[in-house]
Chain A
Amino acid sequence: MSTINGSYSDNTPSTTPAGLPAKQNVAPVKAVDTQSVLKRLQSELMSLMMSGDPGISAFPEEDNIFNWKGTIHGSNETVFEGTEYKLALSFPADYPFKPPKVKFETGCFHPNVDVFGNICLDILQDKWSSAYDVRTILLSIQSLLGEPNTSSPLNTQAAALWSNQEEYRKMVEKHYKPSTA
């Protein structure tokens, strides 16, 4: 649960005793610190640009660093080979303690993606870790494409068709609408 009560900054008067205060060592639940979220996002952007991972990329929208657009390429030797999917990522004010919301913006025929672009992926929900970042998210989604979880699908038709890769490929192409906007 997030509460936005303004932010504390590095200018907070220092009240820490010189020694190690043994008793009062549990910090109170902090108000959301926008500055530190910005810092973290900037640092992610830097390392993402440096890493040069093939097949994934992401960049903040012009006016809002809390909203990013990402791209993943379907991996070779999967039915998604040759495709390029656009994703929208939106970061909460208490990122990275809560995961970003991630959606497909390109139509994606996949057992774990619904027609609205919502993704069912555990690391974006209850298995989220504050040590994950945009890069790990995009790589996870990229591998999810080729290795769907067909046991609890959002798109049952895709799940049922998965075993027939040839037919599946046709559906991938049918639903694939590269963004023109």
Chain B
Amino acid sequence: MKKIEGENGSEEGEIKREGGERKRWNRKPERAQGSLSLGIGEARSFYEVKHLQQCVKDELIDLSDNNNLDHDYVYGFRIETCVDRYMEYDEEVMMRAAVEQSLFENGGGRRPTPANEAAIKGLERLMIKDNEDTNCSICLEEFDVNKEEKRFKVTMPCKHEFHESCIIQWLHTNHVCPLCRYQLPVMGDSKE
């Protein structure tokens, strides 16, 4: 489980709202109260702050799905991070951002929905008899009778073909065909 903690304890993790003084980061002294600075001098709009907060929430939802993290704490931490992106930053902030970014592997936004198991099990599966010259577009390797991992071919309903192990790993991440976005049923669909 990933643990998120500011290196100097909770002070860094607090949500600082409009005009709140923040000590650790460089900021433009002339910055207007109640607005966020872009680091090149422009004030950020309310809309943009909202957008940032939405990013934070999306990332949080991703995170908490996995990790049972303390919501309030993480939430504060991330707001701080996003806001920092819009401020004049120095090396310390850069380093801190690098560390944080590594904590958010899903890149923000919504997470794709996996296909349901019944749909995956129902896919047409074939062991090839001869080597084929075509490549699987997930691993970019050929269908190969001599390799355990490369001899089973799965054909999607859209007729696109992949190595079994490749497409199954993908469908456990996202229910759409990698090549044409044909949608397999997702978890919770009535077909299950």
Contacts and interface: CB of A to CB of B under 8 A. Distances in A.
Interface of A: 1-2, 10, 12, 14, 16, 20, 25-27, 29-30, 36, 39-40, 43-44, 92, 96-99, 101, 114-116, 118, 122, 124-126, 128-131, 152-154, 156-157, 175
Contacts of A27: 164-165, 168-169
A20 B124 CA distance: 11
A98 B148 contact: no
B105 interface: yes
Contacts of B61: none
Contacts of B181: 129
B51 A152 contact: yes
Q: How large is the interface on B (under 10, 10 to 19, 20 to 34, 35 or more residues)?
A: 35 or more
Contacts of B121: 25-26
A118 B85 contact: yes
Q: Which among A39, A97, A152 has the greatest number of chain B C-beta atoms within 10 A?
A: A97
Interface of B: 38-40, 42, 44-45, 47-48, 51, 66, 85-86, 89, 97, 101, 105-112, 117, 120-121, 125-127, 137-141, 147-149, 164-166, 168-170, 172-174, 176, 178-179, 181
A155 B48 CA distance: 8
Contacts, number: 96
Given A96-B138, A116-B85, A131-B138, A26 B97 contact: no
12 contacts: A10-B149, A36-B139, A39-B141, A40-B140, A98-B105, A98-B106, A101-B107, A115-B86, A126-B110, A126-B111, A128-B174, A131-B178
A92 B102 CA distance: 10
Contacts of B105: 2, 92, 98
